[in-house]
Amino acid sequence: MNRGGGEVNDLNLAKQFKEKKDEIIFVCRKPLSSRVEIPLLEFPTILVSSPYLYGISQRFPSMLGKIMRFLDSFLFGCLLVRHIKKLDFDIIHVTDMPPVVIFKKFIKKPAVYSIRGVISPYYKKLLKNFDGFIAWGSSYDIIKKELDSSKIIHLNPGVDTNLFTRCDTTNLKKKYNLCGKVVLLFVGRFVYLKNLPFLLKAFRRLSNYSNKYVLMLVGDGPLIGNIKKKQKS
């Protein structure tokens, strides 16, 4: 499990439930080709070993890549449900795994689904089988008219002001020559999931119209070397 923003939200939510004396168990994917970078030491965790083809799929034509990602997720969904059926639990919280929606009918316990972005029309029909939803941020505006609003809890991730505070940016702007520029800011992990090559391609097209735009990338990850090479070229 790679710990990004969504995973941090899930962990914080789990900690809130733990404070209420609820018992939490995480069931996560473990890619066959890698180790678990950050074990969930805070909670009991069941690791489901399965392929992870998302990164590789980005190198293929669009339609073939989509098919690879669906089949990969579908296989993980099958393995996941097999593990879940062995557990004794009162409610399951499904997060960021649309294909698992297909298997809802095999899970005889109440199920809640987290929504963090756009959901395809195919999955929207299947989501109606769920007992409740957690809509993060702006995703609430997307799905509130298409699902039973009485089943939706709207949560905004918010900002930890102990870590992030406003400060004087004068020196920063001088250091990176940003004065008078329009800054487009990306903050996140440098991984295939973020599709940064597409962002760079789009920015090049934008910069052809004006030199007032600057793209600033903040973060780290396994693709940082490739991104730097593409930026120089």
Residue 1: what pLDDT? Answer: 47
Half-sphere exposure of 18 (CA within 13 A, CB side): 12
Residue 98: what pLDDT? Answer: 57
Residue 181: what pLDDT? Answer: 92
H or E, element range at 79: helix 62-84
73-106 pLDDT, tens digit per residue, is: 788 888 888 888 888 889 988 876 655 666 777 7
Half-sphere exposure of 124 (CA within 13 A, CB side): 13
Contact 48, 69 (CB under 8 A): no
CA nearest neighbour of 2 among 32, 36, 34, 33: 36
CA nearest neighbour of 136 among 115, 151, 152: 115
Half-sphere exposure of 75 (CA within 13 A, CB side): 16
Residue 123: what pLDDT? Answer: 72
Angle, CA of 213, 217 and 218, to the nearest 5°: 140
Residue 36: what pLDDT? Answer: 53
Read off the amino acid at residue 204: R
What are the angstrom distances between the C-alpha of 93 and each of 14, 17, 44, 186?
10, 12, 15, 29
Task: Write out the two tokens for 207.
Answer: 């910069």
Could you say which of 3.40.50.970, 3.40.50.2000, 3.30.1330.60, 3.90.1150.10 is the CATH number of the domain covering 5-155? 3.40.50.2000
203-212 pLDDT, tens digit per residue, is: 999 989 888 9
Residues of the chain under the 70 pLDDT cut: 1-3, 33-41, 96-102, 232-233
Task: Write out the two tokens for 97.
Answer: 């795994």
Residues 61, 64, 69, 70, Cα dihedral to 10°: 150
In the chain, domain spans: 5-155, 170-232
DSSP for residue 159? -
Residue 203: what pLDDT? Answer: 93
Residue 184: what pLDDT? Answer: 93
